[in-house]
Amino acid sequence: MSSTTTATGADAFERHLATSVRSDEERARLMAEPGFGTVFTDHMARITWTERDGWTHRRIEPYGPLQVDPAAAVLHYGQEIFEGLKAYRHADGSVWTFRPEANAARFAASARRLALPELSVADFLGAIEALVQVDGAWVPSGEETSLYLRPFMFASETFLGVRPSREVEFLVIASPVGPYFSGGVRPVSIWVDETFHRAGPGGTGAAKCGGNYAASLLPQQEAYAKGCEQVCFLDAATGTYLEELGGMNVMLVGADGSVTTPALSGTILEGVTRSSILATLRAQGRTVTERPIALDELRAGLADGSVAEVFACGTAAVVTPIGRLKGEDFDLTVGDGTTGPVTASIRRTLTDIQYGRSADEHGWLHRLA
């Protein structure tokens, strides 16, 4: 395989295809009820980086286990970042993704924070395009289904000293998915954690790195024990303000139809779904505010009805209604506990664009196949 190439985008990726792939019947069986993140396609995209040579060996290769040295830096110091985006099949069979440049930009920002090498937008998009060109048959067409794309980058150097890795691997894997939460799109319950925090000022909260998610797992386990699907974190500095959920942003809908979400404080992730929802709502003329939201304010608003709806949003979650908010000394139902009209309408507006059912006025769709 040559390490230098003049081709760009998807054409730069050499195709080393699997000698045997799943049959049409087996693929159909695996895609029938995909769940989230358990089934993977036949191939993966990959690029290797070394401090000496930069990014080389752009290739598509069979999906399979990686050979990683037990002393690889990522296994010890967690130098890793990832992204999440989806490929949607439209009614005419074409395949599209949503705002991939935004994911590429966030991936580059995460790389800077984790002292990993930046990947160009062309390589980020090229890897996704090349993978979907090869594994396009894995993009499902059922309601609420898509091909979840997971780009990630990790420190692969065999070295136990604590410094940025001089060798890095970038991969994209793909998984046909249905709704993130089991049981389909339905209101979920949230546990508000007042003990643990996800990220602190000056930390990695705004980066999409594995460490942030690792820090969320114990509180997430606590949430499950309390009968909730997700955990909500408060800011680490004061323990007062809502930050985000374990793997998604959060928004409040007022009784007057206005929408409020925690401001980007440097400790929360700037979700692509979050920013798309805010832009869509603003274009509709709705009042949208990004500001610190105290847990006390949310509790009072749910109690007096001035907060009518609460929802989670993210690539995986799309727009998920929140029906109940629990903490050590409170247990509040949001509205009547069912999906509110504004939440339902935002979800519909967004998914209509993603699935090609309505005009893409913002130019957010990017054709993959």
Which residue lies nearer to ligand COI by CB, 77 or 213?
A: 213
d(CA 91, CA 367): 14
Per-residue contact track with ligand COI, 258 to 297, x per CB under 6 A? ----------------------------------------
d(CA 271, CA 184): 22
Q: How many residues bind ligand COI (CB under 6 A)?
A: 6
Burial class (CB in 10 A: 0-12, 13-18, 19+), 202: exposed
Structure tokens at 199: 């990220």
Using DSSP, state whether 275 is helix, strand or coil.
Answer: helix
Which one of 205, 262, 314, 335 is in contact with ligand COI (CB under 6 A)?
314
Which one of 39, 134, 316, 325 is in contact with ligand COI (CB under 6 A)?
316
To ligand COI, the closest distance from the beta carbon of 41 in angstroms equals: 17
Which residue lies nearer to ligand COI by CB, 78 or 164?
A: 78
Report the residue closest to ligand COI, judged by CB.
Answer: 84
Which residue lies nearer to ligand COI by CB, 59 or 86?
A: 86
How many other C-beta atoms lie within 10 A of the C-beta of residue 348? 13
- 314-342 CB burial, b ≥16 within 10 A, e <16: bbbbbbbbbbbbbbeeeebebbeeebbeb
Q: DSSP letter string over 302-369?
A: HHHTSEEEEEEEETTTEEEEEEEEEETTEEEE-TTSS--HHHHHHHHHHHHHHTTSS--TT--EEE--
To ligand COI, the closest distance from the beta carbon of 1 in angstroms equals: 31
Which residue lies nearer to ligand COI by CB, 41 or 315?
A: 315
Where is 171: in which H helix or E strand?
Answer: strand 167-177
> In the window 226-265, what residues touch ligand COI (CB under 6 A)?
247
How many other C-beta atoms lie within 10 A of the C-beta of residue 242? 24
Q: Is 318 one of the binding residues for ligand COI (CB under 6 A)?
A: no
* Helix/strand number for the chain, H first, E second: 8, 18
Which residue lies nearer to ligand COI by CB, 34 or 301?
A: 34
Paired with 55 in beta bridges are: 49
Nearest of 272, 228, 304, 270 to residue 98 by alpha carbon? 272
User: Which among 54-62, 66-74, 218-226, 309-317 is the span making contact with ligand COI, rule CB under 6 A?
Assistant: 309-317
User: Which among 68-76, 91-99, 163-171, 314-322 is the span making contact with ligand COI, rule CB under 6 A?
Assistant: 314-322
Q: Is 151 one of the binding residues for ligand COI (CB under 6 A)?
A: no
Q: Is 315 one of the binding residues for ligand COI (CB under 6 A)?
A: yes
> In the window 67-126, what residues touch ligand COI (CB under 6 A)?
84
Can you give the binding site for ligand COI, defined by CB under 6 A? 84, 213, 247, 314-316
